[in-house]
């Protein structure tokens, strides 16, 4: 890990257990346990814990309560709910700390921002950013932060439905908000209109939403499906790339990319909870994104609980390149001693590796007897830098939220099977380069002034990046999916 990129090195869980990634091996620390499934934390650039919050209160790195008066009232109508743990998000800017929290109950559905000074954690302001219900949207409390292409600002992304009802109905459009968070002038809002419809199953609200480590993709566990989107870090726009079906009988729950973004891990939801659904044990699944095959066909069960009354809760990629998981008991009425399942962190030691080679350790780190039946803190990827060579890599420092414009290149159809049509709006020839998901160059050619047709029959099935260059500078980039 590079020096000065340790803002995400301390994880705090509602169980009162923390993980310190500044040490090798990773060490535990303890805080007072909290009756909430929501947590976020932030450290300074050298890895010292600065603050953490459960959405109701804020503590400094020494564990002292520093909540400003009236910080949050009735943030959520369920005080402990693992499906709502992405309702709180702390993001560190250069000289301040922003705390975003989705205030959700039956009557309100707002996204709020509280900005704190790093020195002393003094509150600067608190304001409502987005009002969902009044515009007919129901936000799903899936806050994630992705570095803007300039490497300095952040996109805050949240999912919403064009409905105020739950469960959602078959055909409800899925929307995304992208809110630009900047040091001196936040406020640029992008609303991504829904290009996929809810299946109305009801369990789509359970799944996690995360971004890939390179910032190019967003994945959402959506009931029995995984929705994979490309993300434009300059414009804050999402584009649906693929729907991975038949993930589980009930629902996907947690999701995590491997460090090189070549593998996608999913935990599934156990149905043994009085819902009257078919028995479906909680599992860890792996999908291969760079195997040159249809993604759904690469599904591999890494682990499945042998007993029906346990399930996985949190799953998160750590700063050390390993994926951490927590598990808990779901038949809460039975007063049994804690199992090793509940009191140990599970770890996937080599998540870039395929199948059993990923090396799952089911009892890696003991919690010291504490119940770990909770989700991991919502912490963004601070190691992601600027999108080098992109149109927004050199934004004017005096206007970090200037309206972004991009050249009207087009590459279609996407997904593609046999031929890709590329439009060139420039009055000159450009160079086009295609890379696969491993970053290997697949094809390089001159893009004619009028555009041209490119055969993709030799490309294996998978994900690609189409880069358009002019005078050795990137002027446009597009994610492309190759289908069989």
Asked whether the beta carbons of 371 and 343 are under 8 A apart, the reply is yes
- Tell me what pLDDT residue 299 has: 95
Residue predicted with more confidence, 325 or 75: 325
Q: Which two tokens stand for residue 69?
A: 């008066």
In tens, the pLDDT along 156-168 reads 998 876 655 554 5
Q: What is the mean pLDDT of residues 41-58?
A: 89
In tens, the pLDDT along 111-155 reads 777 777 666 565 555 555 554 444 555 556 788 999 998 898 999
In tens, the pLDDT along 282-314 reads 899 999 999 988 999 999 999 999 877 888 888
Question: DSSP 3-state assignment of 355?
Answer: helix
Q: Over pLDDT 70: what percentage of the chain? A: 72
Residues near 97 by Cβ (< 8 Å), separated by ≥ 6?
A: 42, 50, 51, 90, 91, 115, 116, 117, 118, 121
Using left for φ > 0, alpha for ψ between -120 and 50, and beta otherwise, residue 359 falls in left
Q: What is the mean pLDDT of the chain?
A: 79
Reported confidence tier of residue 107, pLDDT bands at 50, 70, 90: very low
Reported confidence tier of residue 198, pLDDT bands at 50, 70, 90: low
Q: Over pLDDT 90: what percentage of the chain? A: 31
The pLDDT of residue 261 is above 70: yes
CATH architecture of the domain with residue range 410-482: Sandwich (2.60)
Reported confidence tier of residue 250, pLDDT bands at 50, 70, 90: low
Question: DSSP 3-state assignment of 15?
Answer: coil
Looking at mean pLDDT, say which of 56-70, 172-186, 361-375, 428-442 comes out highest. 361-375
Residue predicted with more confidence, 168 or 452: 452
- Tell me what pLDDT residue 100 has: 82
- For CATH 2.60.40.3080, the residue range(s) in the chain are 410-482
In tens, the pLDDT along 381-429 reads 999 988 877 767 644 443 333 333 345 678 888 888 999 999 888 778 8
pTM listed for this prediction: 0.79
The pLDDT of residue 266 is above 60: yes
Strands (E), 72-203: 88-92, 96-104, 109-117, 123-131, 138-139, 144-147, 154-161, 174-181, 189-192
The pLDDT of residue 453 is above 80: yes
The pLDDT of residue 204 is above 70: no
In tens, the pLDDT along 343-384 reads 999 999 999 999 999 999 998 899 988 888 888 999 999 999
Fold of the 10-366 domain = Methylamine Dehydrogenase; Chain H (2.130.10)
- For CATH 2.130.10.10, the residue range(s) in the chain are 10-366
The pLDDT of residue 463 is above 90: no
The pLDDT of residue 19 is above 70: yes
Of 107, 99, 35, 50, the closest CA to residue 72 belongs to 99
Q: What is the mean pLDDT of residues 202-212?
A: 78
């Amino acid at each position: 890990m590079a020096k000065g990129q340790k803002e995400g090195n301390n994880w705090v869980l509602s169980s009162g257990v923390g993980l310190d990634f500044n040490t090798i091996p990773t060490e535990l620390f303890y805080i007072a346990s909290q009756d909430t499934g929501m947590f976020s934390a932030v450290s300074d650039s050298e890895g010292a814990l600065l603050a953490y919050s459960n959405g109701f209160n804020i503590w400094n790195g020494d564990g002292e309560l520093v909540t400003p008066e009236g910080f949050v009232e009735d943030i959520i109508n369920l005080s402990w709910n693992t499906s709502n743990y992405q309702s709180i998000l702390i993001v560190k800017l250069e000289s301040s700390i922003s705390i975003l929290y989705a205030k959700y109950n039956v009557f309100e559905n707002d996204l709020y921002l509280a900005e704190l000074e790093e020195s002393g954690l003094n509150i600067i302001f608190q304001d409502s950013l987005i009002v969902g219900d009044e515009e007919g949207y129901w936000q799903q409390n899936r806050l994630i932060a992705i570095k803007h292409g300039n490497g300095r600002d952040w996109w805050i992304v949240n999912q919403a439905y064009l409905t105020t009802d739950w469960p959602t109905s078959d055909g409800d459009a899925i929307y995304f908000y992208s809110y630009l968070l900047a040091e001196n002038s936040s406020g640029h809002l992008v609303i991504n209109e829904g290009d996929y419809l809810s299946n109305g199953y009801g369990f789509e609200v359970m799944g996690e939403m995360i971004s890939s480590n390179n910032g190019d993709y967003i994945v959402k566990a959506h009931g029995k499906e995984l929705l994979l989107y490309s993300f434009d870090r300059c414009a804050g726009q999402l584009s649906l790339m693929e729907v991975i079906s038949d993930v589980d009988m009930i629902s996907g729950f947690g999701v995590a990319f491997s460090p090189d973004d070549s593998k996608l891990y999913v935990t599934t939801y156990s149905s043994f909870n009085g819902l009257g659904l078919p028995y479906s044990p909680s599992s860890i699944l792996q999908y291969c994104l760079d195997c040159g095959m249809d993604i759904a066909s690469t599904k591999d069960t890494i682990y499945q609980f042998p007993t029906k009354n346990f399930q996985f809760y949190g799953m998160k990629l750590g700063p050390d390149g390993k994926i951490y998981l927590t598990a808990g008991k779901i038949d809460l009425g039975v007063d049994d001693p804690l199992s090793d399942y509940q009191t140990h962190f599970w770890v996937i030691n080599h998540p870039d590796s395929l199948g059993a080679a990923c090396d799952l350790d089911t009892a890696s780190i003991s919690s010291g007897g504490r119940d770990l039946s909770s989700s991991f803190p919502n912490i963004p990827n601070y190691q992601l830098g600027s999108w080098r060579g992109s149109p927004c890599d050199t934004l004017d420092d005096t206007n970090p939220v200037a309206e972004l414009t991009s050249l009207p290149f087009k590459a279609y159809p996407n997904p593609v099977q046999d031929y890709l049509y590329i439009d060139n709006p420039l009055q000159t020839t450009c160079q086009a380069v295609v890379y696969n998901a491993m970053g290997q160059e697949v094809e390089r050619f001159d893009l004619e002034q009028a555009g041209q047709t490119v055969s993709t029959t030799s490309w294996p099935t998978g994900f690609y990046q189409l880069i358009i260059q002019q005078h050795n500078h990137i002027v446009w980039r597009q994610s492309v999916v190759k289908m069989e």
